Amino acid sequence: MEILRIMYHCSTLTNNRRIFRKNIAFESSMSLLESGDIEFSSLLTITMTNIAQTETQCPFTCRQQVISHLHDVLKKSIKGTKLYDSDTLNIEVTKTLGFLALKKENATTIMEKGSVQLLLSLIKRGELAERDSAAFALLQLTRHDYEDHQESHFLAAQKSLVKVLKKDEKVSATLRHTIEQVLRKTEYNVNSNDVSAGEKICEYQSRCTRFMEENLKIGVLRKSDYDLCYCLTCHKSRSDDLYYERGDPPERYGIPVGWCRFGLQLPMRAEYLNAPDEWHRAYHGTREDSVLPILKTGDLLQPGDVTPTGDQLGERPGHLEEDNQIGLDTKQVFVTPSVKYAAREEYASPSKFHDKEDASVHKAQVAFQVYIQPDTYERGPETVGLKTQLDPEFNNQELEWSTKRRGVILLAGVLVKLELLKKGKANKKGFGPKKSKS
Residues that bind Zn ion (CB under 5 A): 202, 204-205, 229, 231, 234
Q: What is the C-alpha separation between 193 and 178, in angstroms, rounded? A: 18
Residue 28 half-sphere exposure toward CB, CA atoms < 13 A: 8
Query: CB of 438: closest distance to Zn ion in angstroms?
Result: 14
Rounded to the nearest whole angstrom, what is the least distance from the CB of residue 286 to Zn ion in the complex? 22
Rounded-to-integer distance, Cα 112 and Cα 121, Å: 17
Give the whole-angstrom CA distance, residue 18 versus residue 193.
Answer: 41
In 3D space, the residue among 172, 171, 106 whose CA is nearest the CA of residue 137 turns out to be 106
The distance of closest approach from Cβ of residue 228 to Zn ion in the complex, given in angstroms and rounded to an integer, is 9
> Nearest distance from residue 176's CB to Zn ion, in Å?
14
Q: Which one, 17 or 222, has the nearer CB to Zn ion?
A: 222
CB nearer to Zn ion: pick between 136 and 204: 204
403 sits in which H/E element: strand 400-403
Q: Report in angstroms how near the CB of residue 205 gets to Zn ion at its nearest.
A: 5
**What does the alpha-carbon distance between residue 207 and residue 355 come to, in Å, rounded to a whole number?**
8
**Beta carbons within 8 Å of 313's beta carbon, 6+ residues apart:** 301, 302, 303, 304, 305, 306, 307
Q: Could you tell me if 136 and 96 are in contact, meaning their C-beta atoms sit under 8 angstroms apart? A: no
If the CB atoms of residues 2 and 199 are measured against Zn ion, the closer one turns out to be: 199
Is the CB of 198 or the CB of 407 nearer to Zn ion? Answer: 198
Ramachandran category for residue 159: left, alpha or beta (phi over 0 → left; psi -120 to 50 → alpha): alpha
Nearer to Zn ion, 232 or 384 (CB): 232
Of 62 and 202, the one with the shorter C-beta distance to Zn ion is 202
Provide the minimum distance between the beta carbon of 211 and Zn ion in the complex, in angstroms, as a whole number. Answer: 14
